[in-house]
């Protein structure tokens, strides 16, 4: 394999470019909010990590319970309209956080939970189904890698922009900026072609299928993926915020620098995912990734955060790109049950997230934040059962 082949620009259809454009704008806003939301909640919920965990536990319970209902809406009005309908819900979520940052009434936190739940159940199932339908199976790994690399480049900018905005203008302006970007993200969705899928499971049948024998490996693998991924989402930002002496700009700079050095490897892994066996890559990457969580327990300075997080990002890409590619291949292989498979995957992810957050909640009653990293290391190894 030649080096230039690793960086070769993949071919995209108009539909997938439109879908990527929507996702790019969404990720620009969500990338800012995602990093600093745990910190925002930590500061406004009596500086209690357990209170922050409760917010996320409730949000993922709601997501997991109502995903099948979102799929039923998708069956009625089509994938495109469902995704378009989801964007105003996300706007409502950011507005609720904006008012909570100003007057701190818990009712706005409740409205935020409602907004993010509606967005998630209406957006993610049709997004993944459309992605499978719009991409070429033979080049899906490279397309994913190219897209993820663009998102990583955007991710270099968003933490720094978010940190500077919060430091200079506060969280209220920060949420207004995220809202404005989200509003523009709806425009590319009007350009994709309408597609339809018939969700054939009833509400209760969905959960019976999830725990059935034939779906046991999928349930365990995606549950583990959800469990591991929630630690960098919720715990890690608060952890580094405390190490960096609660400096928003420093958090943004260090997060952006870590992302910047990950882009080239992301492109390389996409091509390898298409040309080599995925499961050995996943096993190798998950072992390296689990080791990274162990090392993170000993981080105590800015330089150490950068070095260890860079290593963790590299190992996460080695593991993550072939894993996501394999996921889309299995979705593609599911044929007419494509949307059903997607819903089962979303529920499994949320079960893993909920279990992990509950374990962290209980663990933090006895020990510090760093001990939750052991749970993440163990969970990261279980994705190999897929």
User: Mean pLDDT across the stretch 169-192?
Assistant: 94
What would the two tokens of residue 128 be? 């993944």
Handedness of CA 27, 32, 35, 37 (dihedral sign): negative
Residue 148, pLDDT above cutoff 50: yes
What would the two tokens of residue 268 be? 């390389």
Query: What pLDDT was estimated at residue 133?
Result: 85
At 103-120, the pLDDT tens digits run 878 899 999 999 999 999
Residue 251, pLDDT above cutoff 70: yes
Pair 68, 119: CB distance under 8 Å: no
At 208-235, the pLDDT tens digits run 999 998 888 889 989 999 999 999 999 9
Of the candidates 233, 225, 173, the residue with the CA atom closest to the CA atom of residue 30 = 233
Residue 163, pLDDT above cutoff 80: yes
Residue 202, pLDDT above cutoff 80: yes
Per DSSP (E only), the strands in the chain are none
Q: From the CA atom positions of the chain, what is the Rg in Å?
A: 20
What would the two tokens of residue 176 be? 């207004």
Pair 8, 270: CB distance under 8 Å: no
Residue 36, pLDDT above cutoff 60: yes
Residue 244's pLDDT band (cuts 50, 70, 90):
confident
Query: What pLDDT was estimated at residue 125?
Result: 93
Residue 271, pLDDT above cutoff 70: no
* 6-15, 173-182, 233-242, 297-306: the lowest-pLDDT one: 6-15
Query: What pLDDT was estimated at residue 274?
Result: 57
From residue 79, alpha-carbon distances to 82, 90, 335, 368 in Å are 5, 17, 17, 44
Query: What pLDDT was estimated at residue 264?
Result: 60
At 84-97, the pLDDT tens digits run 999 999 999 999 99
Residue 167, pLDDT above cutoff 50: yes
Residue ranges of domains in the chain, CATH in brackets: 14-192+200-385 (1.20.1250.20)
At 299-353, the pLDDT tens digits run 888 888 888 887 888 788 778 777 877 777 777 776 667 888 889 999 999 999 9
* 58-62, 160-164, 182-186, 312-316: the lowest-pLDDT one: 312-316
Residue 266's pLDDT band (cuts 50, 70, 90):
low
The better pLDDT of the pair 340, 54 is held by 54
Query: What pLDDT was estimated at residue 276?
Result: 62
Q: How far apart are CA 47 and CA 73, in angstroms?
A: 39
Query: What pLDDT was estimated at residue 325?
Result: 74
Residue 67's pLDDT band (cuts 50, 70, 90):
very high
Query: What pLDDT was estimated at residue 2?
Result: 47
Report pTM.
Answer: 0.89
Rounded to the nearest integer, the mean pLDDT of the chain is: 86
């Amino acid at each position: 394999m030649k080096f230039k082949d690793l960086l070769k620009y993949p071919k995209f259809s108009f539909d997938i470019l439109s879908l990527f454009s929507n996702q790019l704008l969404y990720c620009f806003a969500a990338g800012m909010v995602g990093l600093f939301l745990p910190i925002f909640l930590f500061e406004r919920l009596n500086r209690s990590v357990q209170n922050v965990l409760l917010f996320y536990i409730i949000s993922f319970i709601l997501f997991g319970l109502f995903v099948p209902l979102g799929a039923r809406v998708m069956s009625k009005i089509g994938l495109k309209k469902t995704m378009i309908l989801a964007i105003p819900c996300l706007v409502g979520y950011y507005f609720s956080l904006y008012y909570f940052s100003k007057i701190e009434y818990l009712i706005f936190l409740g409205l935020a939970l409602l907004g993010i739940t509606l967005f998630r159940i209406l957006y993610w199932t049709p997004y993944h189904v459309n992605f499978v339908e719009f991409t070429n199976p033979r080049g899906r790994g490279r397309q994913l890698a190219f897209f993820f690399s663009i998102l990583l480049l955007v991710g270099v900018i968003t933490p720094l922009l978010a940190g500077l905005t919060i430091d200079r203008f506060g969280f209220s302006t920060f949420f207004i900026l995220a809202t404005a970007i989200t509003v523009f993200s709806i425009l590319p969705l009007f350009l994709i072609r309408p597609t339809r899928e018939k969700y054939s499971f009833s509400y209760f049948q969905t959960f019976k299928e999830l725990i059935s024998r034939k779906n046991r490996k999928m349930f365990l693998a995606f549950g583990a993926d959800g469990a591991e991924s929630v630690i960098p989402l919720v715990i890690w930002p608060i952890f580094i915020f405390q190490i960096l002496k609660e400096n928003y700009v420093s958090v943004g700079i260090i997060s952006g620098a870590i992302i910047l050095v990950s882009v080239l490897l992301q492109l390389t892994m996409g091509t390898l995912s298409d040309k080599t066996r995925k499961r050995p890559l996943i096993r190798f990457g998950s072992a390296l990734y689990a080791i990274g969580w162990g090392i993170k327990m000993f981080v105590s300075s800015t330089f150490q955060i950068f070095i260890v997080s860079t290593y963790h990002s590299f190992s996460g890409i080695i593991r993550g790109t072939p894993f996501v590619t394999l996921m889309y291949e299995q979705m593609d292989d599911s044929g007419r049950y494509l949307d059903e498979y997607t819903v089962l995957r979303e529920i499994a992810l949320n079960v893993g997230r909920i279990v992990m957050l509950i374990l962290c909640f209980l663990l933090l009653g006895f020990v510090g934040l760093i001990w939750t990293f052991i749970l993440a290391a163990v969970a990261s190894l279980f994705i190999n059962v897929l």
